[in-house]
Structure 1
Amino acid sequence: MRHINIVDLQRYRQELTEAEKSLATIEKYIRDIKTFMHWLGDDKDITKDRVIQYKEYLKTKYKVSSINSMLVAINRFFQYLGWNECCVKGLKSQQQMFTSESRELKQHEYEKLIETARRKKKEQLALIIETITGTGIRISELVYITAEAVTQGRAEVSCKGKWRQIYLTKELRKRLMKYCRQKEIKAGPVFCSRHKNPLDRSNIWSMMKKLSKEAGVDPGKVFPHNLRHLFARTYYKKHKDIFYLADILGHASVNTTRIYTRTAGANHIRMLEGLKLVI
């Protein structure tokens, strides 16, 4: 009989921590495992057939990418427990060439968010949005934007066991230095709560959602990772160097970077029409 208990989950969390997985990754894995446990209900016995049934259930609720991500989480947990016979295959899908236009944050929408934040006297939020979009960093890396980094003009960022340098543009650095002077921030992370603790992703996420409504921008487009996508698309459109972009974003594979440089299908249509091949 295969059963998951809280002790197993606690030990697995510790295992992920010792493997130096990011906090966001750990929380996601644990959340996905708990979702599976909740689905099991009273019938807690885990077999491969039950996991296959769960996969079928996920098909009715989530997109393919989300399903595969959730299956990876429970498969790795099974492997940790030595339950390899319970692992199931992910769903096959062809990588999409284009992003949904309804999800793509446009330049004018980004500018509207910044303008609204400043009009509402939300300078910290405006700078957070500009910093993520202007550097392409992950929200988890925002803690490395310190007063010292602003002074030096660059930050040393660590993610997934790798270090890389993030450079701050002259204008961004100027605005951050002014903010630090106003808030008397002389050392440590620039973006903190009133209690001087670094802001976490949930704080920033909720602030952005509220701002999106105030700015009249679709809330479905306004979240930290979409700002990173905007940086990637803008950079690639101007420089067409996907390998250098991969280094900037901290991607181990260029294939991951390609996902970030997708544009809406409407842009592709315009490019095709520009060829003038249908006479």
Structure 2
Amino acid sequence: MSAATRAFLDMLAAERGAAANTLAAYARDLSGAEESLGDLAEASRAQVAKLAGEWSALAPSTVARKSSTLRQFFGFAVDEGWREDDPSGALPNPRTSRPLPKVLSHEQVEALMERAEFEAQSGKPAGLRQLVLLEMLYGSGLRATELVSLPVSAVPRDAPLITVTGKGGAARMVPVSDRAREALQKWLSVRPREPASRFLFPSRRGKHLSRVRLFQLLKELAARAGLDPTGISPHVLRHAFATHLLEGGADLRVLQTLLGHADIATTQIYTHVDAARLVSLVNARHPLANR
């Protein structure tokens, strides 16, 4: 990676507070472009235009993301005086439609919960941890990284709220249900003390449970609950949290705060999910539906 792209990534981390996963994604896009063009600070507009052909087999959303990364880099390069021109206009600009998020039904969530509660009855650490993870994903709408990286000190004592560090290091308060608090207390009573770790869900190496392992645990639980594992993930449970709250009458601004969205436009996608559900309901249940 060139000195210019490293400086750009340093800027994202220092000035914008970009999260580790975001920085890794930017780094991959920049490294891939440099493999084709060399030092991006010196790439000509004609060279940049060739990327459209190299990306032709990629999904429009992927092309849009890569183009966005390079546009930001070239803007930064101009501001820093490394280039006099901005070749961003030569980048492809595919039209993408944002897909509606996958959402679990109330019955599917209930099936997951019932299975997790059944397995937690044994009192074994694995079962209790699994129940807490599920309760926090669906009951508080946490992102996978936010959940696995929670410190023990974040566990609420008196107030039914927990402080979560989200994207870009932004902190927010989210509610913890009585069910989740009860599960948390049971988990803390059996949580491994060795090796020492400050994390609520420690790994054997003293760090925290990985995002990959969290994905695996949920899919394995889904299979045991008789659900299709391919449709279950931490983010799907976060979507279910948001959609079910909205169905219950939650205010969109409140939902934005709970989810940690910087822009209300990101939260508004859930209004489309709810609208799609209402259309489906009318088509299925209206007296004229079968005429």
| TM score, norm. by length of structure 2 | 0.76
CA contact (8 A) 1:139 1:224 kept: yes
C-alpha deviations, 1:24-43, integer Å up to 9, x for none?
A: 111111122233345x2899
Change (3 A) 1:211 1:81: farther
Larger mean CA deviation between 103-112 and 21-30 belongs to 103-112
CA contact (8 A) 2:37 2:47 kept: no
Q: Aligned to 1:10, what secondary structure does the other structure show?
A: helix
Match for residue 61 of structure 1? Answer: 58
Indicate whether 1:130 and 2:135 are aligned.
Answer: yes
Q: Which amino acid aligns with 1:119?
A: E
Map residues 224-235 of structure 1 onto 2, 5 A cutoff.
224-235=234-245
Change (3 A) 1:275 1:212: closer
Q: Aligned to 1:263, what secondary structure does the other structure show?
A: helix
C-alpha deviations, 1:215-261, integer Å up to 9, x for none?
A: 44334322222211110001000014212111111122221112245
Unaligned runs of 5+ residues in structure 2 are 121-125
Map residues 198-217 of structure 1 onto 2, 5 A cutoff.
198-217=208-227
- Distance across 2 between alignment mates of 1:49 and 1:126: 55
CA contact (8 A) 1:132 1:227 kept: yes
Q: Aligned to 2:208, what secondary structure does the other structure show?
A: coil
CA contact (8 A) 2:197 2:206 kept: no
Match for residue 108 of structure 1? Answer: 107
Unaligned runs of 5+ residues in structure 1 are none
The alignment yields a C-alpha RMSD, in angstroms, of 3.4
Change (3 A) 1:136 1:31: same
- Distance across 2 between alignment mates of 1:50 and 1:262: 40
Structure 1 position 151, deviation (Å): 1.9
C-alpha deviations, 1:139-159, integer Å up to 9, x for none?
A: 222233634423243222233
Q: Which amino acid aligns with 1:140?
A: T
Indicate whether 1:182 and 2:181 are aligned.
Answer: no
Match for residue 220 of structure 1? Answer: 230
Q: Which amino acid aligns with 1:162?
A: A
Match for residue 21 of structure 2? Answer: 24
Change (3 A) 1:32 1:216: farther
Change (3 A) 1:132 1:7: same
CA contact (8 A) 1:145 1:155 kept: no
CA contact (8 A) 1:150 1:176 kept: no
| TM score, norm. by length of structure 1 | 0.78
Match for residue 123 of structure 2? Answer: none
Match for residue 245 of structure 1? Answer: 255
CA contact (8 A) 1:150 1:177 kept: no
Map residues 140-179 of structure 1 onto 2, 5 A cutoff.
140-142=145-147, 143-144=149-150, 146-152=152-158, 153-159=160-166, 160-179=168-187
- Distance across 2 between alignment mates of 1:54 and 1:247: 39
Identity of aligned residues (%): 21
Q: Aligned to 1:166, what secondary structure does the other structure show?
A: strand
Q: Aligned to 2:279, what secondary structure does the other structure show?
A: helix
Q: Which amino acid aligns with 2:33?
A: F
Change (3 A) 1:109 1:85: same
Q: Which amino acid aligns with 1:268?
A: V
- Distance across 2 between alignment mates of 1:173 and 1:32: 41
Match for residue 91 of structure 1? Answer: 94
Q: Which amino acid aligns with 1:239?
A: G
Name the structure, 1 or 2, with higher relative contact order (CA <8 Å, separation 6+).
1
CA contact (8 A) 1:212 1:219 kept: yes
Q: Which amino acid aligns with 2:74?
A: F
- Distance across 1 between alignment mates of 2:203 and 2:132: 14
Structure 1 position 129, deviation (Å): 2.2
User: What is the number of equivalent residue pairs in this alignment?
Assistant: 269
